[in-house]
Amino acid sequence: MPKKVVIVGGVAGGASTAARLRRMDEDIEIIMLEKGKHISFANCGLPYHIGEVIKEREKLLVQTPQSMEERFDIDVRIQHEAVKINREAKVVEIKDLQSGEVYQESYDKLVLSPGAEPIKPPLPGLDLPEVFTLRNIPDTDKIKNFVDEKKPSRAVVVGGGFIGLEMAENLHERGIEVSVVEMMDQLMGSLDYEMAAMLHNHLRTKGIDLHLGDGITAVEEADGRKIVKLQSGRTVKTDLVILSIGVNPRTELAEEAGLEIGSSKGIKVNEYLQTSDPSIYAIGDAIEVKDLVTDRSVRIPLAGPANKQGRIAADNICGRKETYKGTQGTSIAKAFDLTIASTGVSEKTLKDLKWDYQVVHTNSNNHAGYYPGAVPMMIKLIFAPDNGRILGAQIAGYDGVDKRIDVLATAVRQEMDIYDLQELELAYAPPFGSAKDPVNMAGFAAGNILNGLVEPAYWQELENIDPEQTVILDIREEVETQLGSIDNSINIPLNDLRDNLDQLDPQKEYIVYCAIGLRGYIAARILNQNGFSKVRNLSGGYKLYKAVKD
Ligand X SMILES: CC(C)(COP(=O)(O)OP(=O)(O)OC[C@H]1O[C@@H](n2cnc3c(N)ncnc32)[C@H](O)[C@@H]1OP(=O)(O)O)[C@@H](O)C(=O)NCCC(=O)NCCS
Cα gap 36→549, rounded to integer Å:
47
Using CB under 6 A as the binding rule, whether residue 501 contacts ligand X is answered as no
Q: Residue 173 CB: number of other CB atoms within 10 A?
A: 16
Using CB under 6 A as the binding rule, whether residue 163 contacts ligand FAD is answered as yes
Question: CB-wise, 48 or 146, nearer to its own copies?
Answer: 48
Using CB under 8 A as the binding rule, whether residue 436 contacts its own copies is answered as yes
Using CB under 6 A as the binding rule, whether residue 368 contacts ligand FAD is answered as no
Using CB under 6 A as the binding rule, whether residue 439 contacts ligand X is answered as no
Please, what is the minimum distance in Å from the beta carbon of residue 206 to its own copies? 16
The DSSP output letter for 122 is S
- Following DSSP, what letter does each residue of 295-330 receive, concatenated? --EE----HHHHHHHHHHHHHHHTT-------B---
Please, what is the minimum distance in Å from the beta carbon of residue 402 to ligand X? 16
Cα gap 345→454, rounded to integer Å:
24
Torsion over CA: 164, 168, 174, 177 (sign): positive
Cα gap 263→272, rounded to integer Å:
19
Active site residue 44: yes
Report the relative pairing of strands 29-34 and 4-8 from DSSP bridges.
Answer: parallel
Using CB under 8 A as the binding rule, whether residue 422 contacts its own copies is answered as yes
Choosing from 44, 62, 97, 227, which is the catalytic residue?
Answer: 44
Indicate the angle between helix axes 12-24 and 303-317, nearest 10 degrees. 30
363 binds, among its own copies, ligand FAD, ligand X, none (CB under 5 to 8 A by kind): ligand X
Cα gap 171→184, rounded to integer Å:
22
Q: What pairs with residue 456 in β-bridges?
A: 537
Using CB under 8 A as the binding rule, whether residue 383 contacts its own copies is answered as no
Question: CB-wise, 416 or 421, nearer to ligand X?
Answer: 421
Site string for ligand FAD, 427-456 (x = CB under 6 A): -xxx--------------------------
Please, what is the minimum distance in Å from the beta carbon of residue 491 to ligand FAD? 35
With contacts defined by CB under 6 A, name the span among 12-20, 229-237, 316-324, 528-536 that binds ligand X. Answer: 12-20
Using CB under 6 A as the binding rule, whether residue 43 contacts ligand X is answered as yes
In the chain, the amino acid numbered 124 is P
Contact yes or no for 211/181 (Cβ under 8 A): yes
Cα gap 43→16, rounded to integer Å:
14
Q: Residue 274 CB: number of other CB atoms within 10 A?
A: 18
Using CB under 6 A as the binding rule, whether residue 298 contacts ligand FAD is answered as no
Which residues are designated catalytic?
44
List residues near ligand FAD by CB under 6 A: 8-14, 33-36, 43-44, 46-47, 81-82, 113-115, 134-136, 163, 250, 253, 284-286, 301-304, 306, 428-430
List residues near ligand X by CB under 6 A: 11-12, 15-16, 19-20, 23, 40, 42-45, 62-63, 303, 307, 311, 362-363, 435-436, 441, 444-445, 448, 516-518, 521
